[in-house]
Structure 1
Amino acid sequence: MGEGKPSLRWSVEQKLQFIEFRLFWEGHVNRADLMDTFGVSLNQASGDLNRYIALAPDNMVYDKSGKTYVRSPAFSPHFMKPDATQYLAQVRSVAEGIVAPEDAWIGNLPTFDATPAPARGIDPAVLRSIVIAIRRREAVEVRYQSMSSPDPEWRWIAPHALAFDGFRWHTRSFCEKSNEYRDFVISRIVETRQSRPAGIISAADTAWHEIVELEIGPHPELSANQRRVIELDYGMQDGRTKIPVRRALLYYALKRLGLDTDPAARPPHDQQIVLLNNEEVVRSKNWQTSFSNDGKSETLQTGATRQQVER
C-alpha cells in the first residue's frame, strides 16, 4: 500500500481516508456522511465519492436498495492503514468527552464506557506558559507545590518536553534549584510569571534521550494455555515482546506494568507478566532519575534488585 499513490491535496486525501475508514470499519459510506463530517455540498460529496471510485475501483459498489456505497469483497486499503489502536482511541476520546460524537469518524459508535479517572486540575494559563517556554527554548519561573514542603515556592525551570505517565501530565525540565533534570507535575504548578532564555539545551538531558527496552514475557508459573492468552494480549512473538521506554520515564512504565516489585510478591494470575531482562534494565545507569512530585526517597524493587529513586 502506498506505492504509486497519486499526490493529492491534504483536504482531498482526508476525505478519501474518511471514505476508506467508513468502508473498512462499517462496510458502507454515502454522500450524507461526507456532508455531515466535512460540511461539503451534495455535489462536492458526489465528486469525492467518484474520485475515490476512479482511484480504487475495486473497493466499493453502489447498493441501489440501500442508496449507499458498500465495501466490495475485493476491498484493499489505498489511503489508510486500518489501525485498531486508532479506532479505539476515537472511542475513548468520545467516552472521555475530548471529542464530540459527531466529530468522530465513527458513524455508529458501539456501546462503551471507561474506568473513571480523577480529573487533573491543570490551569490552562500555566500549561500555555510551559508550552511557549518549550517552543521558544526558554526558562520560566514557576510557583510549585511539592510534597516535600508545606508551601509552594518559586523556582526557575527550563522545560523541554511534556510527558504523560498514564495518570498525570508532567513537564520534563531542567531545575535550576537542584541543578538537574526533573519531572514536574503540571497540576502542581500554581502559577507562572517571568521567562528568560534558557541557559541549557535539552540535548544534555541524557535520561530523556536514552531508550531502554523492557523485554517482557508471560509469568513462567502460568499454565501453557494461560501463557498463550498473555502472549496474545501483548502481541508477543515466541513468548516475548520488547517495549521501548525513555529512561526518564522508566519509573512510571515499570510501575504501570506492575513490574516495580518482585514477581513472587503476587500470584501468577495477578502478576501475569515478568521482566525478562531485569539485570539489563537495572544496569541502565541505575536510572536514578529525579522526580519532583515528592521529597522523600522511595525504595523501588524490580525483580530481586533494589534501586533508590528520588521522589
Structure 2
Amino acid sequence: MKFLRVGPPGAERPAVLGPDGTAYDLTGLTPELDGAFLARLDRAELAAAVAGGTLPVLDLAGQRIGSPVARPGKVVCVGLNYRDHAAEAGAAIPAEPVLFLKASNTVVGPDDEVLVPRGATKTDYEVELAVVIGRTARYLENEQQAAECIAGYTVSNDVTERAFQLERGGQWDKGKCCETFNPLGPYLVTPDEVGDPQGLELKLWVNGELRQHGSTAEMIFPVLTVVSYISQFMVLEPGDVISTGTPAGVTMGRPGTPFLQPGDVMELEIGGLGRQRQVLGKA
C-alpha cells in the first residue's frame, strides 16, 4: 500500500494508490496523513474500501506531490551508517549509531525546490531510506517490537551544508536544518509491500551524473536495530521520521567535485519506494 499527499503546500489532500496505480482520495476518512491517522490505521479495512470502490478517485495529473507524512514531530537521523561512507568521510566505524536531529520544518515534497542557504559554500546531497513511525516506541526490547512500530518507508534526501556542519564550531545540526533540506517522498510504502528493508537499492544523480549507488544491505546498523536503539534515548511517536544514513558518493567524499549550486538538479530513487527530483534555488 502506498500513501501520498497531493496538492499545493499547506493544502495537500491525503490519498492512497490502488493495486492498479489509481489514486483514491482519503479526505473522507482523515484530514491528514499524520501520526493520528497512522496510529489508528487498519490496512485490511482500507484495502477493502479501495477494492470495494467506495473511495473517490483522485486525478494526479499536473498535481504537486507533497511529503507523504504531514509535518513530523521530529526527524531523527543516523550518521555514518554505511561503511563506505564512513571511509570516504575519514571516520572510524562507529561502535554505536551516531544520532542527530533535523528540524521538522525542513521537510518538503519530493520535487520541491531546494534552497542553497545564504553564506553556503559546500551544499551536499545524501540519498537515504527513511522510516515513518506508526506506533509509540519506548525502550523497545527486540527487532520484533521495532517492526511493529513501523508504519512504512519512504525516500529522503538529507541535504547538508558541509561548511555549516563541520567548520562553524561544532554541532551537525547547523548544516542539517536549513529550510527545504529534507525532501521526503513521494510515497509512504507500508512494510508488507517493502518486504526486507535491508535489500533496497539506492541511487542519486546530479545533473544526470550518477553519484551514489548503494544498497541498504551495506548498513552498519540495520533498520530494526536503529529503531530499537533510538527508543532507548527518546520516545518515538506516530508520524516521526528516522533517516537511516547514506552510502558513499557524497560530494564531500569526491575530491575535485563541485558542491551543489543554484540551477543544479538532484534526482534520487530507492527501489520500490519511488523517485524524487529537485532543482536547486537560492535562499
If the length of structure 2 is used for normalisation, what is the TM-score?
A: 0.22
Question: TM-score, length-normalised on structure 1?
Answer: 0.21
The structure with the largest helix share of the pair is 1
Of structures 1 and 2, the one with the larger relative CO (CA 8 A, separation 6+) is 2
